[in-house]
Amino acid sequence: MVHTNIYKTRREKLIKALGRGVVILKGAPEQIRTNDTEYPYRQDSDFFYLTGYSDPGAACIINPNDSDHPFTLFVLPQDPKKEVWTGWRLSFDETVKVYGADQALDIASFETESLAAMKSAAKVYSNLNHDRDHQHKMLDLVGQVRKEVQRSGGGPEGLESIGSIVHGMRLVKDEREIELMQKAADISAEAHIKAMKACQPGMTEFQIQAVLESHFVYAGGSGPAYTSIVGAGDNATVLHYVKNRDTIADGDLLLVDAAAEFEMYASDITRTFPANGNFSDAQKAIYGVVLKAQKAVVEASKPGVSFQELHDLDLRLLVEGMLEIGLLTGTADEVIKNETYTDYFMHKTGHWLGLDVHDMGKYMVDGDSIILEPGMVFTVEPGIYVNSKSKAPEKYRGIGIRIEDDILITATGNKNMTAAVPKEIMEIEALMARV
Ligand SMILES: [Mn+2]
């Protein structure tokens, strides 16, 4: 069932910000995987956010200047011969009803209708992310209209990314979005607990990946929200390790960064745990530093705090901890000033989360870091990565640790959406204990 009211509310909000602009959006194109077979289809996030439409071959026009049809959906027409292969398509009338559109038209008329809509618009907003063909098409059409209406003085002044309006809207999640994101987070949390329980030295990274991803699908998710990272030992120090082909050795730490997508919404969890169920002293030392920073940043996440302040706090605590355990030398101020910490901590503390795992939305506005508001969701994911080639004390080499939770800002503070997965050393060891 499509919750048409939610999408309608979003379009109304969008229209208020449009002025005399028109929104012309294309659904995501299908992508070939090999020869004539495609990757599983996933709708463009902005398009979905405003329409709720998730099938291929669609486009839409949101035009406040057209009082009869402010919202037109363009879809593939019914075609029994093709539908035998890909499934039944709704008729235009059914499309109008299911998606709350003012009219549904054949996708073949998208270009002509776009041209007509542009003529009365001061500006054209479109999705200008990845689909180059669509970008070029929009530029062509805007140019064409401007030529046609030159003498009457009308026509759009230019083409702008819909992101300039919609990405700001997407930053603050509504109730329904939070519900879906919590479901994605719950599925992912269950999968991480399963993976911890299943892990044994001698298993392969891909077998742990299979435990996680099978649960994502089993529990009703659409699959992983991003490519799963399952790295044992030194592989855990490679930030985007996705090969997942090695055997997990006794004494290794296993870093698992994997999470489900549920009804288009992402979650994002990382846990790091010992393959044999017990942390070594060196592993405990680094883990303790990351955990302390992670918990402090989660604790500090509340309305009124800036995203940058969270990163500064994270960095300060990681650096102090690394100095304490002898991973770095000097004073905290020197290390931060000279950026010598980047040998072991080289990414940001977190990112927005939503329809995209690295969700759209600005981090800075006019040179200032964004201030947290209720409804914003982001990850908190400090890490320390000491690869086997590093000059760190021998005992720390080959240890990579990241701990990541999904944080929702509430009116009074925050909710950790992924708190169900253990992260305390004793909790992890207890969960993994063989009885
Ligand atoms: Mn992340």
pLDDT digits (tens, 9 = 90+) for 1-29: 788 999 999 999 999 999 889 999 999 99
Give the integer Cα–Cα distance in Å for 3 and 14: 17
CB atoms within 10 A of CB 33: 10
Intrachain domains 4-170 and 172-432 with the same fold: no
Out of 385, 396, 405, 406, pick the active-site residue: 385
- Over the range 358-373, which residues count as b (16 or more CB within 10 Å of their CB) and which as e? ebbbeeeeeeebbebe
Give me the pLDDT at residue 155, please: 83
**C-alpha of residue 402 to centroid of ligand 1, in Å:** 10
CB atoms within 10 A of CB 332: 18
pLDDT at 306 over 90: yes
Out of 113, 257, 314, 356, pick the active-site residue: 257
**C-alpha of residue 268 to centroid of ligand 1, in Å:** 5
Confirm if 253 and 401 have CB atoms less than 8 A apart.
Answer: yes
**C-alpha of residue 210 to centroid of ligand 1, in Å:** 20
Mean pLDDT of 199-215: 98
Residue 404 annotated as catalytic: yes
**C-alpha of residue 43 to centroid of ligand 1, in Å:** 21
**C-alpha of residue 416 to centroid of ligand 1, in Å:** 14
Mean pLDDT of 97-120: 96
pLDDT at 216 over 70: yes
The DSSP 8-state label assigned to residue 157 in this structure reads S
Phi, psi of 413 (to 5 degrees): 180, -115
For 187, how many CA atoms within 13 A lie in the half-sphere containing its CB?
A: 29
Structural domain boundaries of the chain? 4-170, 172-432
Give me the pLDDT at residue 312, please: 97
Mean pLDDT of 176-184: 98
Mean pLDDT of 298-303: 98
Residue 257 annotated as catalytic: yes
Give me the pLDDT at residue 276, please: 96
**C-alpha of residue 393 to centroid of ligand 1, in Å:** 28
pLDDT at 150 over 80: no
Task: Please state whether beta strands 270-274 and 265-266 pair in parallel, antiparallel, or not at all (unpaired).
Answer: unpaired
pLDDT at 221 over 80: yes
Give me the pLDDT at residue 89, please: 96
Mean pLDDT of 88-109: 97
Give the integer Cα–Cα distance in Å for 284 and 409: 30
Residue 381 annotated as catalytic: yes
- Fold type of domain 172-432: Creatine Amidinohydrolase (3.90.230)
**C-alpha of residue 185 to centroid of ligand 1, in Å:** 13
**C-alpha of residue 109 to centroid of ligand 1, in Å:** 40
Residue 69 annotated as catalytic: no
Mean pLDDT of 185-211: 98
pLDDT digits (tens, 9 = 90+) for 115-140: 999 998 999 999 998 899 999 999 99
pLDDT-above-70 percentage for the chain: 100
What value does the mean pLDDT of the chain take?
96
**C-alpha of residue 41 to centroid of ligand 1, in Å:** 23
**C-alpha of residue 238 to centroid of ligand 1, in Å:** 14
CATH H-level, domain 4-170: superfamily? Creatinase/prolidase N-terminal domain (3.40.350.10)
Residue 174 annotated as catalytic: no
Residue 186 annotated as catalytic: no
**C-alpha of residue 206 to centroid of ligand 1, in Å:** 20
Out of 351, 356, 405, 406, pick the active-site residue: 351
Residue 136 annotated as catalytic: no
Phi, psi of 36 (to 5 degrees): -115, 20
CB atoms within 10 A of CB 430: 11
Which residues have C-beta within 8 Å of that of residue 427, sequence separation ≥ 6?
none
Token pair 């559109």 in the structure block, residue: 101
pLDDT at 435 over 70: no
Between 197 and 157, name the one with better pLDDT: 197
Give me the pLDDT at residue 130, please: 82
